[in-house]
Amino acid sequence: MEILVYLTVFLLLGTISILAVGLGESFGKAMAIAKKINGKKKDLRKPKNSLSKRLSKLSRKRKNLVAQVQMSEYTYRLMTIAGIIAGGAIGKLVFKSSAFAVLIGGLGAAAPLLYLSFKVTKTRSSRMEKLRSTMMILSGSYIVTEDFLKTVQDNLELLEYPTPFQDFLTYCNYIDGNIKVALRRLDAQVNNSYFSQWVDVLVMAQDDRQLKYVTMSVVDSMNDVAQAQMESDTAIYAVWREYFMVLALIFAAPLIFKILMPMAYEILVTSLVGQGLFVLLLAAVVFSLVRALKLNKPILM
């Protein structure tokens, strides 16, 4: 019976390995698209960090994510506790081991971080799309009026990203009428390289009106990158679908044994070899999750 169990698990691991290879290829394709869009390859040779530095970096990332989604620390802690409890319950149900319950509970503690990462990425992408639309509306109107202050006043209600431009109008109308200074303040409020180029052109256009046409060229360049962003998102979403399919297979395997082969399941979860195989599977989950999180970044930053 034990030989049959190990043989079955070996075949199962082989199937998962084949899926993991395909998943790795998808990761590679998605990363290649991102590198092509960015226009350069990053150096993958990084100095090794100590465990304390990595934990410190993770803590800073967590605080930044919580701040960006405007979630209270109390809510985040409740989500973390819920993740730990749910992970521990799944570990106990599937593997019948307190040690595995603790390990999977630890993975559950990372679930809120994954959720926040997705939410921040979606928020940033939405913000960039609204900024692009706003720049397009203002560029088209400015080419006609040649007066950026009037352009903003006439189109403010149409803008999808109005907040910094409302501040721009307030500054120009009540504090300082210098358009160039107001544009530099506007640039400082929006952290985006394409927006900075756009503002630079607007500043120069105050002296040379012919440069007003260049504002639309900047927006066109941003449109090209936005299209590439959509292609990258499609590839990345395909990777996530495959990842969760493999993840579901990994955790469904012991349950299948538990339902269809109870005796084999007992041998699998109590023997040293079976537990070692489960440890390898969990290690593969953690490794693939880290790789997947690296892809979950918008291009238009």
Q: For the chain, which residues make up each domain, given as ranges?
A: 2-39+50-121+239-295, 124-224
Reading the block at residue 60, the tokens are 């800073």
pTM for the model: 0.67
Nearest to 289 by CA among 122, 109, 124: 109
Q: Tens place of pLDDT for every residue, the chain, 301 residues?
A: 555 555 555 555 555 555 554 555 555 555 555 555 455 434 434 444 566 777 677 777 778 878 777 788 888 889 989 989 988 888 888 777 788 888 888 888 888 887 887 788 778 878 888 999 999 999 999 999 999 999 999 999 999 999 999 999 999 999 988 999 999 999 999 988 899 999 999 999 999 988 999 999 999 988 888 787 777 777 777 777 777 777 777 777 777 777 887 877 787 777 777 778 778 777 877 777 776 666 655 555 5
- Distance, C-alpha 112 to centroid of its chain: 13
Alpha helices in the chain (DSSP H): 2-38, 51-68, 73-95, 98-109, 111-145, 148-155, 163-174, 179-189, 193-205, 212-260, 262-270, 272-295
